[in-house]
């Protein structure tokens, strides 16, 4: 059983954390590694967006991005989108991803979101991770259009 001191430090990240996040963003993409600190700071500054991180030894090693978006239906309650969930390879299977996801989920509910959506890559093998957190694929069918 973990002691309280073994719990990871999970917090909303700030632009000061952007350099730690470059490798996490790059781990997300199967294509060219293109994450840059300037773009990461812009994401963090976007209204309704929060990036949560888990720290180990004063370094951010896991993250999840939450976007809470305005909505015209469901009584005007916002909806949320979680994306860019990543944990450094050396720190996987320690519960860090679950902790950053729970911080994002709690924040979405605290902001009165009526639903939280996410998409995960079919080749990532992460469906079971998200299902264990309560997400399912019964309600929505996700599609992607990429610019050529």
Please check whether residue 145 lies inside any domain of the structure: no
Q: Considering only CA atoms, which of 122, 55, 120 is closest in space to residue 91? A: 55
Domains in the chain, number: 1
The widest CA-to-CA distance across the chain, in whole angstroms, is: 50
Q: Is residue 143 in some structural domain?
A: no
Q: Is residue 147 part of a domain?
A: no
Q: What per-residue confidence (pLDDT) applies to 143? A: 83
Q: In terms of residue numbers, what domain contains 85?
A: 4-132
Confidence at residue 2, expressed as pLDDT on a 0 to 100 scale: 40
In a domain, residue 42? The reply is yes
- The answer to whether residue 146 is domain-embedded is no
Nearest C-alpha neighbor of 105 from the set 88, 90, 117: 117
- Asked whether residue 148 is assigned to any structural domain, the reply reads no
Question: Per-block average pLDDT, block size 10, for the chain (148 residues)?
Answer: 62 92 84 82 94 94 97 97 94 95 98 95 83 90 86
| Structural domain includes residue 77 | yes
CA angle in degrees (0–180, nearest 5) for 56-59-62: 70
Confidence (pLDDT) at 78: 98
Residue 108: give its domain's CATH number.
3.40.630.30
- 58 assigned to some structural domain: yes
């Amino acid at each position: 059983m973990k002691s309280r001191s073994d719990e990871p430090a999970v917090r909303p990240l700030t632009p000061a954390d952007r350099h730690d996040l470059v490798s996490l963003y790059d781990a997300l993409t199967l294509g060219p590694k293109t994450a840059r600190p300037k773009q990461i700071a812009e994401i963090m500054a976007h209204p309704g967006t929060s990036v949560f991180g888990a720290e180990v030894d004063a370094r951010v090693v896991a993250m999840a991005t939450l976007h809470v978006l305005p909505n015209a239906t469901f009584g005007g309650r916002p909806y949320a989108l979680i994306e860019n969930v990543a944990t450094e390879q050396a720190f996987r299977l320690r519960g860090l991803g679950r902790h950053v996801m729970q911080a994002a989920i709690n924040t979405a509910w605290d902001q009165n979101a009526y639903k939280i959506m996410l998409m995960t890559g079919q080749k990532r093998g992460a469906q079971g991770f998200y299902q264990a957190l309560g997400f399912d694929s019964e309600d929505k069918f996700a599609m992607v259009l990429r610019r050529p």
